[in-house]
Structure formats: C-alpha cells, structure tokens
A and B are shown apart, each in its own frame.
Chain A
Amino acid sequence: MKPGKKPKSYFKLRIYLVTGFFLLFFLAIFGRAVHLQIIQGPSLKKMAAKQHRKTLNLQSKRGDIFDRNSKELAVSVEVDSVFAQPNKIESPRTVAKVLSPILGVSFFELEKKLRKDAGFVWLKRQVDLKDEQRQIVKELDGIGIMKESRRYYPNRQLASNIIGFTGLDANGLEGIERYYDSMLKGTSARFTGEKDAMGRTLVYQDPDKTVPLEGMEVELTIDKTIQYVAEKALKKAVDKYGAVGGTAIVMDPATGEILAMANQPSFDPNDVGRFDINHWKNRAVTDVYEPGSTFKMFLIAAALDEGLIKPSNSFFCENGNYRVADRVFHDHEKYGWLDVSHIIKYSSNICSAKIGEKLGKVQLYRYMKAFGFGSRTGIDLPGEATGFVRHYNKWSGVTLHTVSFGQGVSVSGVQLLSAVSSIANGGFLMKPYVVRSVKDQGGHVVSESHPVVTRRVISAETAATLTEMLVGVTEEGGTGVKAAIEDFEVAGKTGTAQKPDFKSGGYARGAYVASFVGFVPAKNPRLAILVTVDEPKGEYYGGLVSGPVFKEIAEESLAYLGVFKANTSAPNMEVEGDAVPETDGGEALSDPAELRPMAVPDFHGKSVRMVLRIAKDRAFDVEVKGSGRAVAQHPFPGASIPSNGPVVVEFR
C-alpha cells in the first residue's frame, strides 16, 4: 500500500462531484442549444436571412459614346470612392483628422459621419487620390476604397446638350445618356445575391454572374468637327446680338443623320451643378417656336404640288397693306405684283396669304401634317416636343392667312429641318436620328441605324422647282444673301418671327426668333442646316442674324467634308485626316430630286460589314476592295445607284 491511498473514499466522492458538475454544465449547454435552435430558431433564422439577402445592383462599366469617326465624346474612368464602417472605428477624431486633408472634407463633417451608428457610410465619392494618399486611406481600420466608374466628357461643352450627362450612380439623366441608358449601362443586372458583413457582394455561388456585362458603346451620327464648327458659329452670333439662346442643327438630308446639333446656352457635363437647369436642355429638340417666314416654303410646296401655282404666276402684294376681316397684314416693304419665285425671295406675307387662300385650309393642313408638323419626328433623343398645328376645323377667319406665313403654328427645330430636308431629298421625308450604331464591348454590332423614309411628301418635280426658287433667296436681292456661299448654290429661307407673348396673348414687342434654314449645295445637297437665334438685340432679321451663321457652318463643313465647287475637280492630293476628296457628283444630275434616296450613300469610314448591310437594305450590288474602313467609292456619294454594275468601295 502506498501512502496517500487512504483518503480514497472521499477522493471518489470529490471526483463524482466534479464530474457531476461537468455533466450538469453540458446539460445546460444542450438546453441552451435547444432554446436557440428550436425555440428561438424560426425568428433568428428570419433575421439571418434578412441580413444575407440584398438586391444587388452590380455596376458595370458604362459604355463610351463616340462620334461618327470614333472620336470619344463620353468615357468612363475608374475613380476612388471612400467609405467608412463607423462601427469598426475606434477613434473617429484621429481618423477624421487624417482624412480631412486627403478627401478635402471638413474635419467636423467627417467626424460626424464617422460617429454615425451605421455599418456603412460614404465619406467622399469619386475623389481623385494619389497613390500615397490611397495607401494612407487603405491602412486605416474601418475605412475602405471602392472603385467606381465616373463619367468623363473629354470635350467639355462640346455636344453636351445632345450627349447629356449621368448622375452619381451612373444613370443617364439627359440626352443620349438618358435615351440609351439601358444600353450604355449594359446588363447591370439586378439580382439577389449574398452579401457579407462588410456589405461586399459575394456571388461565389454563380460564377457566371461575377462579371457583370459591360455597357455597350454608342456611336453617334454627330461629327465632332462639324459640331464644333456649328457651336462656334452659333455662339459667335448669340454673343454678338446678346441673344438669350439659339440652336444650329446640321443634317444629312439624304439619310436623316444629324451631323451636329448646337445649343446656346450650353453647359459642361463634367460639372453639371455649376449650370442652371435651363442650360441642360437640348432646345433644338425640346423647345418649339413659331417658324415665321421659313414656313412659307411649305405653303409654296403644297401649292406647287397641287398644281395650283407655277413659279411664273404673279400675285398682287397690295402695296404692303392687306385687310382680311378685322386684320391688316403688312410686308416689311411695299410690293406690287410679284411672281411666286419673288414672293419667296422677298418673303412677302401678303402674297403668301393669298397663295394660302388659293390652296385652302384643308390642303394646307394636310401638307403641314405630311411634312411632319404637329407630330414627333421620332428622333432618338429624350423630351422631343410635338409642336402645335391646330386642326383646320378650329381655324378662325384669318388663321389660314397667318399660318401661310408661319404664324399660329409652332415647330421644333429638328422638325423644321427634317421637313426642309425632304425638299432637299426629292420629296422624301427622312426620320432624323443621332445614333448610328450600338456595339458591345467586343465590338459586335448590337443595333445599327439605317435611313428610314417616313413618307414621300411632295413630288420630285415640286422639290426641284421649289429648290430653284429657294436658291433665289440667297441671291442678289433676296432676304438671305448673307447666307450665300461662294462657289455653291444655297437653297434656303429666312425667318423673322415675333415671339408670342403668353401674358397678353398677342406678340411680344421686340422679341424675335431670327432664323435661317437651307441646304447646300442646292443641287445634290450634302447638308441641311437650321439656325435659330432667340431674341437677338439690335438686328433681328433672320437673314442678317442667322444667315451668316448658316454660311459659316456650311462653308467650313463643306471644306472639311472635302466637298468642292461643282465642275471643279478635287485637287489631286493626299488629304490628311478624315477628309477625303470627293467631287460634288461631277456628272450632271439631270434631275437630282428624282434620284435622291436612290442615290449612293456616303460609305466613307464605314466597315465592310456595314457597307454590305446598307447595300442589301437598299438593294444594290457592292464590290468590296480591301478591308478595314471605307476610304473611297465609285460612284461618289449622292450619285445615282448604277443600274448596270456594282458600286465599288475601297477599304483600308
């Protein structure tokens, strides 16, 4: 027997006591487990599920926006956004002190945020951090950086009213950004997933969804250079005449493609907040105005098309005073007898009213609707205005007369220019559009726009006759001489419309919209341009205020496009950049109007794929030479589609 074996009986008792204590302890633990898992289980389970589930809005990289020559108009760049998890921060004071200079946020404001009883709070979004600053921020406990995509507009004000802008969460708020928001966003799919305690998204269960599809790229019909030219010219006039605003639209009349759309006032989409909300809108599309005399060309078009008048028919202009019912109409100068060509050339209100009388309200109304007034053109931009054309049943005694010279109707800029383009286009009204194609990130074309003929409005003969008359407007003695360009015939019309005064119900004294609309070259037109200047001070005649703007835009754009004077062949030289020498359809087009939308499109810069597609749509043959982008073609753009052979397109 060893010493110490004696107290063994008590020893056993003590061991049993300890063992018993442990068994009870385990029993209690088991009881607690039952309590937690069975009794409280369902309610705890619900709470757990709630914190796991979260509607994720995985932000994909927003697609870029390009002009027609693939020049960047809007791009997405990755920037840092700094957030805090206040619950994990031990000393808000210290952290706030460190972060305040880095983020440029006041110490007081930061500390307040850091003391919030929240799991997550943004401290500063979309901030530019230097590498060493980023390092400091990363080392702070409870502070993190998230990569966010920020929209950047490299050309600042350029085309801002078309492009629009995005909000902080990268959703399009205006312009193309808004109209094509879902495509630019890509499949920023909202789906339910798991989130972890840090609010990070875990999509580990579905690897297919971990990479959100990036937004698509949008290529506009806008040409950055022409846009720049238009903005520059417009701004000059608006500044010169102290006008409240203005627009300039440039369209390819054969296709309906918008090449430029300038607005004044404008804004810098990189810093939207600095500008009044009034600067954001694209007034060429969203605003309406009374067209005034520019509208006369549609009256003449209708009367010509109906065979009621000929250019040589004369009307008596009442020497500037024409009483109808209780109204007396005036011309700005007193005219006697004028033929139709000169009625347009001098812009006589009285004779226009007389032509209106001859045409009748039903026909006038019918033609206005056919030209697209009173209904949206369907342009792919947000907020398009309808304009206002009262039904002829509701016309009063003089409405027919006033409408004949463009009073009592309202139109949007894009609407008017489309209508004018139909005259340039042999009578075919084209649907205007600003987006050429949408591509995914892999460069595959998702959707592509093609010229769409809305309807034939007038006959080709009418269009040709009218065009000739409109050329007169810019010739010696016409109201639009200031819009005339050397070497080219310009077809156009001036407009000087008093602005309606909504308070008194009449017209505002001294408040005018001075406009000029036209197309150039008159035969085989390449550009249709509308210029409106809102409330110019001093001068207010459309021909004086807007005519020169038209001229400047047209001249510079034609030179840029490499369109040269008729009957002078292009200088035989290598032209740098995008400009490719093209002749103005050297072969005489006996009746250009008849050939327009059946003319060869401008393939310059297009891909093989796109060229083939256009050719297929328009049902003509194409011979492809080389690969890449189209650099040359025969016949030239605007020439008639040959009936006995393919259109040859060279690519490089």
Chain B
Amino acid sequence: MASDLLSIAASGARAARGALDVTAQNIANASTDGYVRRSVGMEEVSAAGGLLRTGDLSLSGVRIGGIDRNADMFRQAEVRRTTSDLSRASAELNGLENIESAVEQAGLYSAITEFEASLQQLAVDPSDPSLRAAALASAETMAQKFNIADSSTSSAAEGLRFEAGAAVDQANVLGGELARVNLRLTRAGAGSSDRASLLDQRDILLEQLSGIATISTSFAADGGVSVRLGGSTGPLFVTGGAAGAIGMSTAADGTISYDLDGTALSLSGGSLAGAALALGEAASVRARLDALAEGIATTANDAQANGTALDGTAGQPLFDGVGAAGMRVALTSGSGLATAGAGQPAGSRDGSNLAALRQALVVEGPAEQTNALLFDISARVQSRTLTHEALDTIAASARITLEQQAGVDLDTEATNLIRFQQAFQASARAMQISTELFDTLLGLG
C-alpha cells in the first residue's frame, strides 16, 4: 500500500498551519498601505496508479501550492489613471488658489479705487496741499500694491517650481526603485511570499509614480513592469533593470517643461502636468499685472506732461519703473501733481489737467481691468474646484473598489481562522486515529 495515514494527516496539519499563518499575516496587515490580501492555494498530492496497480491507493496528502495575491489588474490600472488625473487637478488648483490669494489679498482693486477717489477729491480744490498729499500717498499705496501683487504671484510661482522640482526628483527615485524591483522579481520564485511582497511594492511604486506623471505600463510574465511616460506612445522610462532620468527646465517667463533623457515630454496628468499648467497661468497673470501697471503709469505720466504743477513749472512724470514689480512714485511732493492746464500761473486753482487725467483713467479703466483679472482668476479657480471635486470622487471610488477587492476583510479572516483551526484539529485527529490503528495492530499479538 502506497498511502500513509500519518503522513497524510501531518501534511494536512502543515497546510492548515500555513493557511493560519497567511490569515494572521492578512489580519496584521489589514491597514497597511498597498497590501493586497493573500490567500493560500492548496494542492492535493497523489500519484497516478501504475501498471498492474490500478486498484491501489496512492494518496500523499496536501501541500501549499502557492500564495495567491488577489489583485485585479484592471482596478489597479483604474486607480493609477484616476490618481494621475486627480493629482494634476490638485496641483493645478493649489497653484491657482495661491495665485488668486496673491492678487486678491494684495488689495489691488481697492488701491486703484482709492487712487481714483483721491483724484476725485482733489478735483474739488486742486490747490489744497493736504488733498495733494493724500492723492500722492494713495498713488504710492497703489504702486506698492502692484509690487506686492507681483512679488506674491512670483513667489507662488517659485513655490510651484520648487514642488515640481521635488516631484521630478521623486519620480527619478521611484523609477530607480522600480528597476530594482524588476530585477528582484526575475529572481523570485513563482507563488512565493517573497514575490507577492515584491508585487505589492511594485504596485505601490507605480501608484506613487502615477501621481507624479501620466504613465502607461506593460507587465512581463514574471511580474516585471516597463513604464512609458505620458501615455502608451511616450518614451520608455523604466524597462527591466534600467531607468531613465527626467529633467526639468525653466523658461524666461517662469514656465517649465520636462524631458526624459533629453526627449521632450508631454504630460497630461500627474502633479508635474498640474504644476506646468498653474505656472502658465501665473505667467499670464503677471503679464496682465505688468500691462495694467504700465497702462496706469503711461496715462498718468502723459497727463502730467500736459499740465502745470503748483509751483508753475511743467509737470514731471508721476510714476516710473518697469512693470508691476518696478512701479513706484517718482514725485517727491504733492505739489508736483500737474492739476492745472498748461500755461497756468503758480498756485492756480485751475483743475483742467486733473480733469483730463481722470477722464483718461476712465477711458483706460484700470479698476475694470483689475476686476476682470480677478474675475478671470477666480472663475478659473472655481471651475478647477468643480473638476477637482469630480476627479476626487472618481479617484476615491476607484480606490474603494480596489480596496473592496484587494483589501483585507477582518470578518472573512476571522471565519478563516476558525476554518483552518478546525482543519488543523481534524488533521491532528487523523494522526491520533493512525496511532490508535497502530496500537490496535500491536495489541493483536
């Protein structure tokens, strides 16, 4: 007879122990990030009957066939895709919100209104020194608000570039790690617990990488992955044990572009794409601020040139400096404001040139332009917020779907504990019976 009851029972007890170990491992890792529930695949061990021994029992028990990792490739790919979209939207929204705060909290609009209001007040009595001083002070405040708006926008852009640089570094580290995991996967045995944990690691790395850039993946039979950046036709980033290097370059206007080993990258998702989009917005906001500041400065200086200051001399420029960052008030005293028309004597109460300046400002419409700028930024933030909310829900449900399938359910594990404990007890009982059988045989004599 080719069967041995004791060894069959022992193999059953061993398999049940193994299954209990895996269950305990699942329970222990119930809240570990990226952990995919393991299950034990059992295989019967038996031999086929040979020639002349067709009626024989040749049973040898059970063995653990392998550790299965219950990951659904499709759901994982969905999580990666939605993560890419979400982190692009997050990075862009974050950047846009910073730009919005920078321009809005600088108080540009109220400063421009205040400047116009002070000119309106001056029109009542153009020779009043205190009204002139007030007008000059409000011009100074407005110039400073322009400086602040520009510097806070540029520091928001600086922050975005810093984050993008850090993300590029992280992506390069992740690429290197993925290449290492690929190498180790070629050496890990199929169905081993080592391989399962390497695959877990691979999926975590892929998910992190998808948060930084859009990736397209293809898997080898041994579980190794090759990664393309920016979609299925993009350049290869990781293949086998080799990983490329992502680079970032900054243009003169502060916008950024990426490359992989010198090949230009076009990314549609991930935080890198979001940062590039937000920086594009920052550059356009700064250009509009510059145009606004220069428009006001030119209008005011042109009007000044046509008028007469309080001391009877020709009007000097009110503002100088380049762009919003450099705007400053050039006049040192309120008496330099050329409120009177050309040819008026010193101390004139004539306000015709002031009226011309105010009219020119109405035509130029800096307050309306600022209002439009603020509206554009905030409308963009609002639409991105809506996009972000939608993408957030999509990404969260993709993750929950994956977790439902791949995550650990403690109730199931509790049931498994009982099931395998009973299996262990039953195998032990079988061992006991085989001993008793032996004893019975010995007792015959």
Q: Do A and B bind each other?
A: no
